[in-house]
Amino acid sequence: MIKKIVKIVKNKIKETINNIIETIKKIAEIINNIADDKKDHVLLGMIVGYPLMFIGLIIDLSFGINCMTIIGGLLGILIVGAKEIIYDGWMKKGNVELADFIYSAVPIITPMIFHIV
């Protein structure tokens, strides 16, 4: 009886591990299909936005207010937007693309939403 239960549990564990591996493979395939330029913009948003929101969070916690994290995030969004307009547009160092701005802004907007909720 115990051997049968152990066998069932082992099979379920193997099945679960295989499902997890397949899911990871699907996620990796999705990420690999995203253009490198867009991945760079996601990193830009993280590099610019997260420190600003973290500084805002420290200010919020230090002074008992609840707006500086959002202001830091909004400042990050303004910076990545300005990068598209100034660096790519006016300075002609790249192509101004709405998709680039969106890929840069999403990593900033997402934690802002979680912070608000």
Percentage with pLDDT > 70 across the chain? 100
Residue 3 pLDDT greater than 90, yes or no: no
Q: Clarify whether residues 81 and 95 are in a common domain.
A: yes
Q: Clarify whether residues 21 and 65 are in a common domain.
A: no
Q: Clarify whether residues 51 and 91 are in a common domain.
A: yes
- Distance between CA atoms of 30 and 17, rounded to whole angstroms? 20
**pLDDT tens string 54-99:** 999 999 999 998 899 999 999 999 999 999 999 999 999 988 999 9
Count of structural domains, the chain:
2
The closest of 109, 106, 105 to 83, measured between CA atoms, is: 105
Please report the pLDDT score of residue 117 as a whole number.
85
Place of tokens 């239960």: 5
Asked if residues 70 and 115 have their Cβ atoms less than 8 Å apart, the reply is yes
Please report the pLDDT score of residue 2 as a whole number.
84
3-state secondary structure of 66: coil
Q: Clarify whether residues 63 and 21 are in a common domain.
A: no
- Distance between CA atoms of 104 and 55, rounded to whole angstroms? 19
